[in-house]
Structures are given as C-alpha cells and as structure tokens.
Amino acid sequence: MARPRATAEFKSKILTESFMAKIVRIEALGQSQEQTVTVQGWLADKTDKGKLQFLRVRDGTGVIQATLFHKSVSPEAFEAAKHAPQESSVRVTGQVRAEPRAPGGYELSVTEFEIVQAARDEYPITPKEHGIEFLMAHRHLWLRSSRQHAILRIRATIIQATRHWLDTNGFLLVDTPILTPAAVEGTTTLFETDFYGEPAFLTQSGQLYNEANAMAFGKVYCFGPTFRAEKSKTRRHLSEFWMVEPEWAFGTLDDYMNVAEQMVSHVAQTVLKERAAELAVLERDTTCLEKIVAPFPRISYDEAVEIIRAKGDANFKWGDDFGAPDETLISEQFDRPVFVHHYPTAMKAFYMAPDPQRPEVCLSADLLAPEGYGEVIGGGQRSDNLEYLEAQLEKHHLPRAPYEWYLDLRKYGSVPHCGFGLGVERTVAWLCKLDHVRETISFPRMMDKMYP
RNA sequence: UCCGCGAUAGCUCAAUCGGCAGAGCAUGCGGCUGUUAACCGCAGGGUUCAAGGUUCAAGUCCUUGUCGCGGAGCCA
C-alpha cells in the first residue's frame, strides 16, 4: 500500500510544479507580467516556423499569442503542438511578456504545453472567407470567432445597461407569461402550442399583462423572449426575439417619449464607453453613436407623410403604414433617432388611446433608428376608457371573454398610462451596424430555420 | 406569400458557342527562430443539388422539385 501511495504523491507534486501555475484568464494577463501562468483555452490559429511556433489561444475572454521555441519545451510537447489541429483544447504555461510584435501587446513564452483534446476532425471554419449559409449551419462553432464575440458582448452590455437604467429609475421587474391564451393584438400570426389539451400561444408581447402589473406596482417592466410566426424573411426579422417593455401608471405620450429617449441614450453611451474594443473589432463608426443623446427629434405622422411626399413617393396616401424605404427616408432627415407620433388610430393596436382633440389619430409613437435600421421602439398611451375599449374589441372582431380581466383594469381606478417595447436584436444590429439581425443572438430562430 | 438570383472539391469561386472538371485556401507530409489571413516544395481530394428530357456529346440547354441568398409585404 505504501509504494503506490508514494507514487501518487510524487505524480501530484510533479503536476503541481509543471502544469499548475496560476490559472489566469487572458483578459487579465496584463496584471501578471513577468509571471509564469497557465492559460486554458482553444487553439484558434497557428503559425509554424520550424523550430519556432506561434500559437494563438482563445479562452473566451481574449486571444493570446503563445510562442513555443523548440529549445524551451519538451520535444514531446513541441511535436504535439506541431500536429495539434485548429480548435484543439489546450493548456499552456509560460511567462507573460509585453511584446509589441504580438497582437494585443502581450505574449506567452511557453514552457509547458498540454493538449486537453486534439480536435478529431478538420475544423470547418477557417480564417478565410465563408458564405452566410455555411456560417449559419455552423452557428455553434461560428460563435467562437472574434466578430461574434464582439457582437454578443455588446448585446450583453445593451441588456445590462437597459435593465440598470430601469432598475435605478423606479421601474420594477415584473415578468409576464410566455404561454398565453389568445393573441395580444389579434393581428399577427402566433405560434400555437398545446396546453393540457387546450390551444395556447407563445406570447408576442407582454403588453396587456404589463398594464395589470402597472396598476399594481406603478412602474414596471418585463424583459423576455417574444414570438412571431410571421412569414417574414428580411434583415430585421426573427421568429424569436427579445423585448424589454416598460409600462407605467399616470404616464402620457410625452412621458413615454421622455423615458424612452433617456433610456436609449444611456444604453448607447454605456456601449460607447464600455465596449470600445468590440466596436473597433466591428469597425463601427462611433461618431454616429456619440450623437445618440436625448432629446431626440419628434415629428408627427402628418409631418412624416409630408417628408415622404416631398422626397420619396409623391402619391403616398395618408393612413398607409410606412414601408422600409419610407422609414429610411424619414430617419435620414435626422442624425439621431426620431420619434414619429400620432399615427392614424386605424393603423395601430386596439388599446391605443385616441387623441381626444382628433380621434382619427392616436397617442402612439415609434422610434425610428438612423442609418436605415427602422423601428426599434413602438409604444404610446393606452386607452383608460372602458366603453371605448369595449367598442374597439368589437371593431377588431375580438372576443370579449378572454379580455374580461383587461377590461377590469378600466373599472377599478382606471388611470392614464403608457408604455413601450424595445426590440433588443434591432437595437444590437443598429448599435453594431450589422447587415442582419441574425448575428445579434446566439442561436437565431428564423422562418423555417431551427438548426442548430 | 410574391419578385429576382443562385446551388461545381471541406470552404470561396472559375470553366468561352454544348466538346478532357480547374484555381486559391483548408488538409496530409517535408523545410524554415518573429509569424500576424506567413512563405517554399510535394501529395491526396468531385454522384457538378435531385429527378426526368433534348443531343453523337450536358456543369452548361429544357421541365419539375428541393434548398439557400437578396428584396417586398408584415412587424420590434
């Protein structure tokens, strides 16, 4: 018994000395200069110079160039590195040195190299160009690339900044259900599912439940996934996307626009400040982002129609919805996001409050992002009038029974209230200036696309 | 759902008028002590999306289908 035990202890000591240097994440390597540390990650890329190899190791927090000199590591380790395929998982130990020739400014002079797993097949995604179809089919691997890292880090910051702003401005997070008994707005296509034998639908908005929560808590927001079964194949549509929806009691159309522009400004400025490196990876022109500061210009639907008639479609009919080119045209008139308010009542959801002075338009507003990104926010003041909503349900051919609870909110202390929904993916696409929202979420769900 | 374009090596693409299936990258082997999407040499790699048709001959022309991309509508 004594001998094997001693052997185990001996092995353990060797491991401690040779492989178990302090494990450091790449983003923190600058604080370990001249120290010997271990980095755990994946072999992103490699350049073989004969008796010198450059390994670029990625650990999720960054990429570090590791140099292996033939004389500095064991012959076995050197040979193993030479034959390690791309994306093999590795553990490298070496001294951290400032090195101007290395990308990132730091380099690891390797003394120990260990392969956790040698990649078993040729890694499909090479440093060269690929088509979008191929990349989407390999989305699970594409996420390892620097561009996707930058986008998803910015997404995380956008979400964090949004929630932080709401949390510190009196809004309470009260999430709303994802399984719902009926269409919230009754217009768009919903994904149907089976709820104990009864039809149920994946939510397309937390809107109506938000109103109940606002009457209970004053200022609330929900943050969650939203589902639309529309057969839309465009650069701005996903079947599953995330939306943040603030809603508050005693709020008006103007209050909504004030809150939304403050929130969006905070988010944009936070990204600018905290994600400069990621914006640089994406080659984002940040002067456009610097301009995203409240107040935002506000124009009425009527004025927007005038712009379209003057600079685009001269025959644009009052009452029509804006198409993508129309939205682009309107947003091009301004260097920051623009609110378009007082849309025709007939165009908007049944619960929007009509303008008392002019009932053919309602107290709604959309926020159009610049650079052609279109509508990133939709919202407005909700009707607080029981009789009006009853009439609206009828007009929109919606059954009353599923909305009884919603009508109750107008019976027990009804107050003016407002809210809005911000599309997370569109906001990410805009702030990152991406061609398509499919890159703004780790695994996009699009029409007829569920793999991976 | 509608309109347009496309599908050839693992990837990105080429192939003239219908006449021998090609390149770069990737991969494998060899060389190189400062590479940055390295470089040099050698090698392997194809059901040309599917089914049918025209033809002496089809990657190429015709028909149908499948899938993808771009745009529109609808929306955040």
* Residue burial A371-406, b: 16+ Cβ < 10 Å; e: rest: ebbbbbbbbbbbbbbeebbeebbeeeebeeeebeeb
For residues A189 and A157, the model is more confident at A157
Determine the distance between A423 (CA) and B59 (C1') in angstroms: 45
In window 109-128 of A, residues with CB < 7 A from nucleic chain B are 122, 124, 126-128
Mean predicted confidence (pLDDT) in A343-353: 93
For residue range A229-252, what is the model confidence (pLDDT) as tens digits?
Answer: 888 888 999 999 999 999 999 999
In window 306-325 of A, residues with CB < 7 A from nucleic chain B are 321, 323-325
User: What pLDDT score does A86 carry?
Assistant: 94
Determine the distance between A191 (CA) and B6 (C1') in angstroms: 31
Determine the distance between A47 (CA) and B33 (C1') in angstroms: 12
Residue nearest to nucleotide B68 (CA to C1'): A133
Q: What is the mean pLDDT of chain A?
A: 91
A407: region left, alpha or beta (phi > 0 left; psi from -120 to 50 alpha): alpha
For residue range A176-212, what is the model confidence (pLDDT) as tens digits?
Answer: 999 988 655 554 578 888 899 988 889 989 999 999 9
User: What pLDDT score does A188 carry?
Assistant: 59
Percent of chain A with pLDDT over 70: 94
Mean predicted confidence (pLDDT) in A104-109: 92
User: What pLDDT score does A13 carry?
Assistant: 41
Asked if pLDDT for residue A305 goes beyond 90, the answer is yes
Which phi and psi (to 5°) does residue A185 adopt? Answer: -110, -5
Mean predicted confidence (pLDDT) in A354-369: 96
Q: Is the CB of A229 under 7 A from strand B?
A: no
Selection from A9-18, A101-110, A265-274, A330-339 with the highest mean pLDDT: A265-274
Selection from A30-34, A232-236, A383-387 with the highest mean pLDDT: A383-387
User: What pLDDT score does A250 carry?
Assistant: 97
Mean predicted confidence (pLDDT) in A55-66: 95
For residue range A414-452, what is the model confidence (pLDDT) as tens digits?
Answer: 999 999 999 999 999 999 999 999 999 999 999 878 888
Q: What residues form DSSP beta bridges with A37? A: A22, A94
Kindly compute the dihedral angle of the four CA atoms of residues A349, A351, A353, A354, in this order, to the nearest 10 degrees: 60
* Contact predicate A43/A86, CB 8 Å: yes
Rounded CA-CA distance A254/A378 in Å is 14
For residue range A93-104, what is the model confidence (pLDDT) as tens digits?
Answer: 999 999 999 988
Asked if pLDDT for residue A71 goes beyond 70, the answer is yes
Split at pLDDT 50, 70, 90, the class of A219 is: very high
The predicted model scores a pTM of: 0.93
Rounded to the nearest 5 degrees, what angle is found at the Cα of A434, between the Cα atoms of A428 and A436?
95
CA A36 centroid distance within chain: 37
Q: Is the CB of A51 under 7 A from strand B?
A: yes
User: What pLDDT score does A8 carry?
Assistant: 39
Q: Is the CB of A129 under 7 A from strand B?
A: yes
Query: Strand B: which bases are under 7 Å from protein Cβ?
Result: 1-2, 10-13, 24-29, 31-39, 67-76
Split at pLDDT 50, 70, 90, the class of A401 is: confident
User: What pLDDT score does A112 carry?
Assistant: 94
User: What pLDDT score does A247 carry?
Assistant: 98
Find the nucleotide nearest A136 (Cα to C1′): B68
Asked if pLDDT for residue A140 goes beyond 50, the answer is yes
Split at pLDDT 50, 70, 90, the class of A315 is: confident
Residue nearest to nucleotide B28 (CA to C1'): A83
Percent of chain A with pLDDT over 90: 78
Asked if pLDDT for residue A15 goes beyond 60, the answer is no
